[in-house]
Amino acid sequence: MNRFVDRVVLHLQAGDGGNGCASVHREKFKPLGGPDGGNGGHGGDIILEASPQVHTLLDLHYRPHIKAQRGANGAGDHRNGARGEDLVLEVPAGTVVLNEKGEVMADLTTNGMRYIAAEGGHGGLGNAALASAARKAPGFALKGEEGEKHDVTLELKSMADVGLLGFPSAGKSSLISVISAAKPKIGDYPFTTLAPNLGVVHVGHETFTIADVPGLIPGASEGKGLGLDFLRHIERTAVLAHIVDTATMEPGRDPISDIEALENELAQYESELAHDVGLGDLKDRPRIVVLNKTDVPEALELAVFLKQDIEEKFGWPVFIISAVAHQGLEPLKFKLLEIVQQHRKANPKQKAEVRQIIRPQAVDAVRNKQGFVIENDPEVEGGYVVRGEKPERWVRQTDFENDEAIGYLADRLAKAGVEDALYKAGAREGATVTIGDVSFEWEPMTAAGADTMLTGRGTDVRLERSERTSAAERKRASQARRGLIDELDFGDGQEADRERWQG
């Protein structure tokens, strides 16, 4: 049994970037081979591509957890890690991508359009790429960034020119079956149609597409019935056609009250598209009224009697047809084509690019020349938050177990103007500063950004002069916590002393 799925929630995780390599070239008779650590590869992206080969979101419904490939780590001898392979997911044309807040991120209306739904993390630089006059043989490398990890909602909105509306069993499926090649299920009971149907109508040498959705009933906007769940499939249509059952015997039902009831439901339906492909809201869309089932004599008499009243009340063209008897179909098809052509002239299609790529909207709102802003921390009194794409990326790529890497981060921040900006914002020594997910006590480094003194690999003389716990001390404390060594025993036979320490 084929299932029609037009809305899914995907849990995306792009590939992480590979770590850079800290390596020194070693070869006989070459004691100073220099750094040769390669860069890590970028993580794979997750890409949504509109494709004519798929017509529903069913495949994604059954595998909503999607993860792209990780980038490989760099290696010695200047070997860069391989980039993670991009993961391309095919979706039908007309798919709208929403973020977790319900905001429209992309509208894939044309086959071949691509949207990068989750970007892979950048690979970390190896120490060969970090070498400079100040650091001729860096004893560290940058870590790879994590890939983006978030949820997106996909909604399929059919690309039809004409949308059919009506109560259950009004004859929408019968009409689409006789004016197009579509073969929907037809029955004499309510809610025979459980999923939208699409058909292509040929009028001379011209064509247009037509769609019908499960029947609407009063209260649909409050969740009654099925039709409201599928109204998104007629949001893009150029014209809406009210299919009215003139042969119904239900009490309290008549063509005018049916039209008014459906219009009330449409008025309460809110489109989730920020801009509905230039067509405006549903209530502003052109309308026509189709009085159906006039093969029944009493129904034909009622339709003829009400035709003028409906035209005067609503101001819409009215057509009298019988889908079963194939009566009155040609004038209806030509009128629909006329309205569709008017819409096409008013909204000419732009020439589609061979492959249009839509990139994610920047989450970083920083637009100043510095590329970052300093804000007061709302959670920490006297604290500050540094927001900016580059500073946050630098922090994510830093190995905080390596003093030289921390010194390199301090130099980058100083050269970018972060320390000066913190001082101007009122920050003082010891203030809590947060960049990305890392918070630290601010210690103004007067030598930051200047040429560094040559020290051992993985160390930084500026940090050695401070009271900050070194990497070796943190390592020894970690071993003591895990019970691997005695915290106070240094193995030299001397009396244990809590104040005594050696690396």
- If asked whether residues 2 and 125 sit together in one domain, one would say yes
- If asked whether residues 225 and 199 sit together in one domain, one would say yes
Between 162 and 463, whose confidence is greater?
162
Asked if residue 490 belongs to a domain, the reply is: no
Known binding-site residue numbers: 166-173, 191-195, 212-215, 292-295, 322-324
- If asked whether residues 131 and 202 sit together in one domain, one would say no
Yes or no: say if 489 and 435 are a contact pair by the CB < 8 Å rule: no
170-199: per-residue pLDDT in tens?
Answer: 888 888 888 887 665 555 544 444 567 788
Tally of domains in the chain? 3
- If asked whether residues 110 and 171 sit together in one domain, one would say no
Kindly state the greatest CA–CA separation across the chain.
113
Between 117 and 54, whose confidence is greater?
117
Mean pLDDT of the chain: 80
Asked if residue 64 belongs to a domain, the reply is: yes
Asked if residue 352 belongs to a domain, the reply is: no
Known binding-site residue numbers for GTP: 166-173, 191-195, 212-215, 292-295, 322-324
413-445: per-residue pLDDT in tens?
Answer: 888 888 888 888 888 888 889 998 888 888 776
273-302: per-residue pLDDT in tens?
Answer: 434 444 446 777 889 999 998 988 888 999
User: For residue 71, what are the domain limits?
Assistant: 1-156
Known binding-site residue numbers for Mg(2+): 173, 193
- If asked whether residues 50 and 103 sit together in one domain, one would say yes
CATH number at residue 180: 3.40.50.300
Q: From 352, 357, 355, 375, select the one nearest 365 (Cα to Cα).
A: 375
Q: What is the pLDDT of residue 490?
A: 61
- If asked whether residues 256 and 151 sit together in one domain, one would say no
- If asked whether residues 143 and 184 sit together in one domain, one would say no
- If asked whether residues 275 and 293 sit together in one domain, one would say yes
485-499: per-residue pLDDT in tens?
Answer: 776 666 655 444 445
The domain boundary, picked from 156, 174, 196, lies at 156
Asked if residue 296 belongs to a domain, the reply is: yes
**Structure token pair of residue 200:** 């292509």
Give the number of other Cβ atoms within 10 Å of residue 183's Cβ. 11
- If asked whether residues 294 and 397 sit together in one domain, one would say no
CATH number at residue 413: 3.30.300.350
Yes or no: say if 20 and 129 are a contact pair by the CB < 8 Å rule: yes
- If asked whether residues 463 and 391 sit together in one domain, one would say yes
pLDDT classification of 369: cutoffs 50, 70, 90: low
Asked if residue 214 belongs to a domain, the reply is: yes
**Structure token pair of residue 356:** 């249009």
- If asked whether residues 131 and 228 sit together in one domain, one would say no
**Among the ranges given (259-273, 300-314, 345-359, 424-438), the one the predictor scored with the smallest mean pLDDT:** 345-359
Between 328 and 366, whose confidence is greater?
328
Distance CA 124, CA 42 (A): 8
Burial (Cβ within 10 Å: 0-12, 13-18, ≥19) of residue 155: buried
Asked if residue 479 belongs to a domain, the reply is: no
